[in-house]
Chain A
Amino acid sequence: MKCQHCQDEATVHLTDTVDGERRELHLCLDCAREAGVDLPESPPNLGLDAVIQSLIVNNVGELVGELAKLACPDCGLKFMEFRAIGRLGCPHDYQVFAKGLDPLILRTHGATRHVGKVARRRPELSERLRLRTQLKNAIAREDYELAAQLRDQLRSKDADA
């Protein structure tokens, strides 16, 4: 629509009713100012984007960033993979991903501490699980000398048990 004064594109559209009669006015921004129309100011830049960004970073962003990179040294699972499949890779993941898992566990169970039956043996971290992973990796790299050493270590652990 064209401005009723100057033929520029009208961007201000006014409607009012005078003595029961409806009146419409279509003006461009300049003509509207000239006509003394009280135009709303454009919203001041409060830097809201930056605020939101910092909120995300403070509360989840950095955690997500840090967790996204986090991988278990023993089973190789990345936290992001866990989020996608919903299954952990090995018992050590509960320690490695504690920062991401603890809030999730609290939401699911309404608790963060085990109550009830206690296991007889309590191996917080399994040396054998760790050796087994190193062995798998050594074989994948075709480092057979290291693989042989690791296999011996595992065997001696099995013999101790």
Chain B
Amino acid sequence: MNLDDLTRNSGEWLRGTGPESDIVMCSRIRLARNLADFPFSNRASRGEKSEIEANVKSCLDSTNLNLAYFDVNGMSSLDRQFLVERQLISRELANGEGARGVSIGSEENISIMVNEEDHLRIQVMHSGLSLHEVWDRINRLDDQLEETLAYAYSAQLGYLTACPTNVGTGIRVGVMLHLPALVKTKQIDKVFRALQKINLAVRGLYGEGTQAFGDFYQISNQQTLGKSELELIRILTDVVPQVIQYERTARQVLMNERKQHLHDQVSRAYGLLKTSHMISSEETMLLLSSVRMGINLGLIDDLEIATVNELFIQTQPAYLQKLHGAELGVEERNVARASYLRSRLSNGRHVEPE
């Protein structure tokens, strides 16, 4: 598998299947792990970082996980950005230095970052609300890696991480939700405040420090010590259905009280995406969000939810440039984006991208 193979596919987590998938885009868990015999990545010498990478690579080779390893250090910045857009690596890994990389499963639901803030950042994603399946998968994966790797661990503090905010289980349990009706009815801040009170973090689609994006919000735990992985998962599986219920209620209110207005907004959004000739990334996200909600409310009936999910990722700058096979400026990207959208949304008529 190489990067070009990735452009021809899309991640399993975008398929729009699984429980509550009209609102829950995906469930994801990551584990932070470090090798006992090395300094943490930020303190490791060049040589040590290479050794860490080599150890992890040989461990991955010895498993039958069928993962492809990508050397992020030797990669162009466009390719790095491409992997960030697909949620396979973090910005921190993309912008880091020295030996580092990522191992990716063919379904794109496994990614193992090497020499990020921690030596290993293991991530498993799955479409819909399916945290227990994700935990079973990542727990097994972690066990397999531990057969050959000695992790930094203490009986008192658990898995030792470069930042003490991750120490203990090293786990982040996250659920990505699409909440356009709560945004539209201006109730989203109330929900955030309630979540923050119970110590859950809310972030945008591209993780820490990014603005909410296409009305997607990721809710995740902050505490990692003193509660077991299953207890932390339970907090999310208790809270997320309540947020889903709020969103459903808000959608129902919009449908009951402002159906024509909503239908008009959704149809205009769809129309713009199908016909525009230049469109920015921000506008695309905004319109796709309306269209996604429109499909779920039965206001659009000739478009698959999976297509819309994919378009959130495939209208990002690096993807468009990979598809085009060359670097594009902002204006050129806006043209390429509009052309790509027209071709994907042409109601079955095949339109060659210009």
Which residues of A approach B to under 8 Å, CB–CB?
A: 74-77, 85-91, 94-95, 101, 104-105, 108-124, 126, 128-129, 132-133, 136
Contacts and interface: CB of A to CB of B under 8 A. Distances in A.
A129 B42 contact: no
A133 B44 CA distance: 10
26 contacts: A86-B163, A88-B40, A91-B34, A91-B40, A91-B154, A94-B167, A101-B164, A105-B164, A108-B164, A109-B225, A110-B226, A113-B156, A115-B168, A115-B227, A116-B169, A116-B229, A116-B231, A117-B228, A118-B153, A119-B151, A120-B146, A121-B146, A122-B155, A123-B152, A128-B37, A132-B38
Contacts of B168: 109, 111, 114-116
B105 interface: no
Contacts of A136: 45
Given A88-B163, A126-B36, A129-B39, A110 B158 contact: no
Given A114-B159, A117-B229, 5 more contacts: A88-B40, A89-B42, A91-B34, A122-B153, A123-B153
A122 to B, nearest CB: 5
A108 B163 CA distance: 11
A105 B37 contact: no
B50 interface: no
A141 B333 CA distance: 54
Contact of B37 (A77, A117, A124, A126): A126
A75 B154 CA distance: 18
Nearest to A82: B164
A117 B145 CA distance: 14
A121 B157 CA distance: 14
B163 A132 contact: no
Interface in B136-154: 139, 142-143, 146-147, 150-154
Contacts of B349: none
A91 B44 CA distance: 12
Contact of A113 (B42, B152, B226, B231): B226
A118 B39 CA distance: 21
A77 B43 CA distance: 8
Contacts of A126: 36-37, 150, 152
